[in-house]
Structure 1
Amino acid sequence: MKTNLTDVAVRALKAPPKGQLTVWDKTSPLGVRVSQGGSKTFILMIGSGKRRTLGRFGILTLSKARDEARRIVAEKTLGISRPIVKTGKLFDAAVPAFIEEHYEGKKPRTKHEANRLLTTRFPGLNKKLLSEITDDDISADLKKLAATPSEQLHAFRTLRVFFKWCMRPPHRYIKHSPLEGFPAPGKDKKGKRILSDDELVKIWDACEGPFGDMVRLLILWGCRNGEIGRLMPEWRERQVITIPGEFTKNGRAHAIPILPMARLILERRRTNARYYFPGRLIDDHFKDGSWGKFKNELEKRSGVTGWQLRDLRRTFRSTLARLKVPREIAEIMLNHVTGGGKGELDEIYDRYHYLPEKTDALKKLEAHLKRLFAAQR
């Protein structure tokens, strides 16, 4: 598509419903590429199918982009080549500084998760200058996460915060964020699904190896994935394991009585490693980004599809209600800060650990699960 490019015409270009749209100038070798997110980038065709990116509209004016395009074409025609000197900050060089500054004073888990997403989920950006990163670069990496929508959304949000940090003084690595106007790849979904008794049994029976044991603890305790993946033997004192507040979502320590079914799992996983469920390195825990792959394999073995690991937490809570566990105790079992009708003053003054009540609730749950297993096998 060709047209007479003007500032007004470039501003009026509409974002395509998908992919990207390229409009070429009738009076110069210049083109404008419009992404699905609405950003507009000046480009130049310098050979058979070869395009060179000149800069984004808003940072580079149309007049300067047209002059630059003509200069490059003229030099190519005359056989003149000038060395391209690239200056600026590389993406992978800026990430460590961002993590240290932006997450100073935050929980280790929060800091670790942000670092994981930026260093492992955007390989296409690693060696690029921040000023040269385009919509296409970001889209290519995000598309690879399409099978794990939650991971994709978290990665996008972390990257968005990173680029905003890159715009701030005193560093000001970039003037504009490449994600400006870029649509989020999805939305947070409030899950409603709980697993049926039959589905729960099938999933339990299909659990294998360390990952299977983690899933079984999710069923038994109603914890969050990251809490189970970080379980350490040193947190255990006799028949109680306490997850420290720095590893929980709400910052509050969570004590869990260890009953027979859970005890068998922990004893089976007790090794010389620092964690019950180590990652590839013996001194590291099971990685947060590894759950999706193993969960897909679990779906195939169990035949139960269309569920998320977080549904196990909702199923746990609903099962406690079925077993007539008081609402206050059921909410405490989920480590909800203001659960069961509690207010802020309760959180300040009520320091009771509720271990007897928790133990009674878990006894009912384990007895219930044993009845299910006996009935369906």
Structure 2
Amino acid sequence: MAKAPITKRTVDAAKPGTAEYVVWDDGGKETVKGFGLKVTPAGAKTYIFQYRVARAGMADKTAPKKFTIGRHGNLTPDQARARAKELAAMVDAGIDPRQAKLDAEAQKDRARREADEKARLENELEFEKVAERWLEEYELDHRASSVGQAKVSMRKYLIPKLKGRPMPRITKQELQAAFDAVPAGQRASRQQVFAYASILWRWAFERGDIEDNIVPSMLKPKGVKARDRVLVDAELARVWKAALTLREPFGAYFRLLMLTGQRRDEVASMNWSQLNRAEATWTKQSKDVKNEVAHMVPLVPAVIAELDALALAHQIRMASPKPDAAKWPKAGPVVSVKGTHALSCYSQAKEAIDEALALPCKGGAQVAPWRVHDLRRTLATGLQRLGVRFEVTEAVLNHVSGAKSGVAGIYQLHDWKDEKRDALSRWADHLAAITAED
């Protein structure tokens, strides 16, 4: 076993052999036991330190271990010797240098991961960024009205309050404060914001963006008291006549609501591609319906007349050379102000008809405060008055409740197509009768 003082002269003099060898330090008082220079056949020279660590509670020591100090050139002999002395002191203190190095590297790795996670939290997981990514995905398979409500919930109520906060660090108190910022009198808005927050947090949890979904354990806002407002015939006739005075498509919008009993956003987003004039049907796919259940609405003559008028107006607006009301467009919004986008200004439409209702009308009934959704409830009540079976009324409204829920919904597959057409025809006749009266 070669021994010599590890100095620059010794290192320079060490020549590669046919096999790897080690020159161990032997420098008198300056000798560091276990300090050596390893020389490979390729000529590489590396400073090493060999040691044994005492076993816990035992006098003997483990098998020898080697610790690589560094390459010659990167370190001088004196620098390597100083490092060997530090390592020897660690061994004397019962510390394994190799394990200490591994622990230090592991600590650095943990610190690096924590820094990366902190940067991720502070950047890509900021609440507004997560919310916008969710909105993009939500928009792919949900109807326009639901997407619109989701955007309002996020951009009007939640993002302004939680902007800049990493979503995984948002507390219940912070989220509750955002809920509380919605005016107490707007119960429906509070419910809506809570509902979309619940969907967002579940989505983020399932993706792994957050480790805990805090929403389910939070207090759900009180629901809006169920309305039972139904327009009497005189009021309904007054609304119909008021709709006749409105500029289109507002007038047609309200008349279609009254004739079909469908939801306001479904009528507003009606597309020519959903309509079949030859078969007199309006077919809504599941993605276009609130309860995500596909629905077919028979088109009675009164509805077809309204659609013919809208089709003719569209053709005239598009400067068609031969306008023909019976030739409906293949696609595009049916109820549209400019012909390019579906009607979305619900409040403007309601304000317009309320203004018309406020004008003096000879022999016209006064209409008590009402909401657009009351027209749907009025049709449902009216069909019952006309003797229409409850199951048919449910089918007309596309309600999955009562007769169509649970086991009955699994085995009751009748589509009520003919019954729905008869019911809506009788309702159209009723509207014609009450609006014809002076």
Residue 197 of structure 1 pairs with residue 252 of structure 2? no
Match of 1:354 in 2: 416
269-278 vs 163-172, which moves further:
163-172
Among residues 120, 125, 133, which one is paired with 2:160 in the alignment? Answer: 125
Aligned to 1:326: 389
Contact 2:285/2:293 (8 A) holds in 1: yes
Q: Which of 259, 274, 277 is equivalent to 2:335?
A: 277
| Closer/same/farther in 2, CA of residues 164 and 130 from structure 1, 3 Å limit | farther
Q: Is it true that 1:259 corresponds to 2:294 in the alignment?
A: no
Residues 122/221 of structure 1: CA separation in 2 closer, same or farther (3 Å cut): same
Q: Could you tell me which amino acid in structure 2 is paired with residue 229 of structure 1?
A: A
Counterpart check, 1:213 vs 2:252: yes
Distance 2:213 2:238 in 1: 51
- Supply the distance in 2 between the matched residues of 1:110 and 1:130 (Cα, whole angstroms): 28
Distance 1:141 1:266, change over 3 A: farther
Report if the CA contact (8 A) 1:230-1:285 is conserved: yes
Q: Distance in 1 between matches of 2:189 and 2:129?
A: 23
Aligned amino acid, residue 128 of structure 1: K
Deviations 1:19-63 (A, max 9, x none): xxxxxxxxxxxxxxxxxxxxxxxxxxxxxxxxxxxxxxxxxxxxx
1:157/1:297 CA distance change after superposition, 3 Å: farther
Aligned to 2:196: 158
Q: 1:330 Cα shift?
A: 1.8
1:235 corresponds to: 274
> Residues 90 and 306 of structure 1: is their aligned pair in 2 closer, same or farther, counting only changes over 3 Å?
farther
Larger radius of gyration: 2
Tell me whether 1:366 sits opposite 2:428 in the alignment.
Answer: yes
- Matching of residue 295 in structure 1 with residue 350 in structure 2: yes
Q: 1:52-103: per-residue Cα shift (whole Å, max 9, x none)?
A: xxxxxxxxxxxxxxxxxxxxxxxxxxxxxxxxxx9455443221223356x5
For the 8 Å contact 1:220–1:366, the answer to whether it is kept is yes
User: What is the SS of the residue equivalent to 1:277?
Assistant: coil
Q: 2:290 matched to 1:249?
A: yes
Structure 2 gaps of 5+ residues are 1-120, 315-328, 359-366
Distance across 2 between alignment mates of 1:294 and 1:137: 34
Matches of 1:269 and 1:104 in 2, distance apart?
28
Shift of 1:276: 0.7
Q: What RMSD, in angstroms, separates the aligned Cα atoms of the two structures? A: 3.9
How has the CA–CA distance of structure 1 residues 370 and 111 changed in structure 2, closer, same or farther, with 3 Å as cutoff?
closer
Specify the SS of the correspondent of 1:142.
coil
In the alignment, is the contact (CA less than 8 A) between 2:384 and 2:393 conserved in 1?
A: yes
Provide, for residues 120-155 of structure 1, a one-character-per-residue CA deviation record: whole Å limited to 9, x for no partner: 534971893136996898479734x96x65345313
Following TM superposition, by how much is the alpha carbon of 1:315 offset from its aligned partner in structure 2, in angstroms? 0.7
Quote the residue 1:112 is aligned against: 147
Alignment of 1:181-196 (within 5 A): 184=221, 187-196=223-232
Partner of 1:34: none
- The 8 Å contact of residues 158 and 178 in structure 2, kept in 1 or not, is answered as no
Quick one: which amino acid aligns to residue 393 of structure 2? A
Look up the SS of the partner of 1:130 in the other structure: coil
- Is 1:98 the equivalent of 2:134? yes
State the match for 2:61 in structure 1.
Answer: none
Q: Which moved more, 1:263-272 or 1:323-332?
A: 263-272
Q: TM-score, normalised by structure 2?
A: 0.54
Offset at residue 263 of structure 1 (A): 1.4
Unaligned 5+ segments in structure 1 are 1-85
Equivalent-residue separation in structure 2 for 1:189 and 1:113 (angstroms): 23
1:95·1:118 contact (CA, 8 Å) conserved in 2? Answer: no
Taking only the aligned residue pairs, the percentage that are identical comes to 23
Corresponding residue number in structure 1 for 2:379: 316
Name which of structure 1's ranges 131-140 and 290-299 shifts more when overlaid on structure 2: 131-140
TM-score (norm 1): 0.61
CA contact (8 A) 1:166 1:172 kept: yes
Distance 1:350 1:163 in 2: 36
Partner of 2:371, secondary structure, is coil
**Letter paired with 2:196:** T
Q: 1:121–1:155: 8 Å Cα contact kept in structure 2?
A: no
